[in-house]
Amino acid sequence: MRATHYDGSLARSQQNGARWLPNPVSCAGQLLLELIERAAAADDRGVTPRDFYRSAWSQREAAYVHRLRRGGWTIETELREASNRFEKVKHAAYFLVLDVDPDGVELQQWIAMAREVRS
């Protein structure tokens, strides 16, 4: 595991080469929390648009994944087939590559704040 520096501003983190930690109250923050928890638990289901809608009431999951990627997080995408009442469709499932220590002090403080927001 390599040491990682975190920054609260996406623009500043990109400029400094730091990893971005979004505001825990934001949709991006809640998505990151879900991705971290599933990666730490080795959950192979991934976070789907339906999962994200249930937790954040937002249908813009791909936009937040894009922001997190720009912020230095490694997120993989898997396309899955499904069907609705009318046709067969594909949807994405997102997985975080956990290349940082989730027990680091700064990340643990952020996770605690994000969990508090969720409840």
Total tally of structural domains belonging to the chain: 1
Q: Name the H helices within 41-104.
A: 49-56, 61-70
pLDDT of residue 72: 92
Range of the domain at 22: 6-118
27 in any annotated domain:
yes
Residue 45 pLDDT greater than 50, yes or no:
yes
85 in any annotated domain:
yes
46 in any annotated domain:
yes
56 in any annotated domain:
yes
What global pTM score does this model have? 0.86
Residue 104 pLDDT greater than 90, yes or no:
no
Residue by residue, DSSP assigns 15-54 as HHTPEE---TTSHHHHHHHHHHHHHHTT-TT-B-HHHHHH
Query: DSSP state, 112?
Result: H
44 in any annotated domain:
yes
Are 22 and 28 spatial neighbours (Cβ–Cβ below 8 Å)?
A: yes
1 in any annotated domain:
no
Q: What is the number of residues in the chain?
A: 119
